[in-house]
Amino acid sequence: MNDESELRIFLAPLGSSVNYKKSLENSLKYEDISGYLTKRDENKLEKFSILFAWCNALGTKKEWDQINTNSWVLFCKEKKYIYAGKAIYKTHNPLLAENIWVKNKRGEIFEYIYFFETIWHIDIEVDEINDLANYQKGFSPQGFMYFKEEEVVVNNILARFESIESFLGIPKNLQEMDRELYTCKKVGLSEDDEGFPEGKEQLKAHLIRERSKKPAEVAKKRFKEKHGSLYCEICGFDFSKKYGEIGKDYIECHYTVPASDTPEDYKIKPKDIVLVCSNCHRMLHRRRPWLKKKELKKLLKTSEIAYLFPKN
């Protein structure tokens, strides 16, 4: 690979293609692809029983040439970056590509391939990346690319977040785990003070942190019994008052600590959960580490005062 020590960040659109489901959303078994590998590929990949991979057509070979083993690739779909992975190997292998992915509309094979040991679920708006890169608001990658002023962007990220992993929201205690796809699902309150066991791991093609839906149902029931309706604990927004019948009994549950930061036998308690509207839920996740309830309430109050009593 090229310039092995240089930290690089690439952006890749997923578009409407179903190809990403075959090798990013789901893993590849080494035994299933070994028959299509070159001897060099085998030497690099045979130690991995499970892999993730993505691919480029000839048109982005120039960018593909720049990938090294210190390269991160962020995958964008519908104005949001949803996956991220750190490259471990790349290969030009038309035979392998033809047996994994379908051709594009021009009949091209995605023959320039790069592999990951782990693919992470992330949740980053395109404009958060655009702000760091000084790109126009709303910009999203139309083809595989790296930043025009890459060193500046990387330095901006490291200055604000100390590491790429922290910027991406990858939990510290999972950063070194092998071949694990991290997912974090919404949860609610516990039924009683003892709570529900959380964080169970199931071995499938990869490990998934699983959570029960029951706590969320109990949370909404308790809150409604106490307050008469469900509304945001931060801004007070009530979906039923704004939208009528369609908004009745709707609210989102924000789990204040990522699932990955809790042990497998952890039990959720009421103090861990905040009931929020969609807007406040998104704002809580806008910074890493996540904002706390009282911090967002303070920011909201400050912005309201600034609006009502402008300095000028």
pLDDT digits (tens, 9 = 90+) for 147-200: 878 888 888 888 888 788 888 877 655 444 333 333 333 333 333 333 445 554
Which residue has tokens 């790109």?
Answer: 135
Q: What percent of the chain has pLDDT over 70?
A: 75
Under DSSP, is residue 285 helix (H, G, I), strand (E, B) or coil? Answer: coil
How far from chain centre, in Å, is Cα 127?
A: 15
Q: Residue 75 in contact with residue 12, Cβ under 8 Å?
A: yes
Residue 9 is predicted with a pLDDT of 92
Nearest Cα residue to 54 out of 10, 88, 20, 94 = 20
Average pLDDT, the chain: 79
Distance in angstroms (rounded) separating the CA atoms of residues 25 and 34: 20
Distance CA 191, CA 269 (A): 8
CA distance 134 to 128: 10
Say which residue, 248 or 217, is predicted with more confidence: 248
For tokens 């967002």, the residue is 296
What is the end-to-end Cα distance of the chain in Å, rounded? 56
Distances (CA, A) of 169 to 14, 166, 219, 224, 251: 20, 5, 26, 32, 24
The stretch 86-109 carries a mean pLDDT of: 91
CB neighbours (10 Å) of residue 292? Answer: 12
Distance CA 186, CA 258 (A): 10
Asked whether 217 and 251 are in contact (CB, 8 A), the reply is: no
Q: Model pTM?
A: 0.57
Burial class (CB in 10 A: 0-12, 13-18, 19+), 104: middle
What is d(CA 218, CA 301) in angstroms, rounded to the nearest whole number?
30
Find, among 89, 98, 80, the residue nearest to 33 by Cα: 98
3-state secondary structure of 276: strand
Mean pLDDT, to the nearest integer, of 255-269? 66
Backbone angles phi, psi at 113, to 5 degrees: -115, 145
- Residues 53-79 have a mean pLDDT of 91
Residue 5, C-beta contacts closer than 8 angstroms, at least 6 positions apart: 68, 70
pLDDT for 86: 93
Mean pLDDT of 218-247: 89
DSSP, collapsed to helix, strand or coil, labels residue 309 as: coil
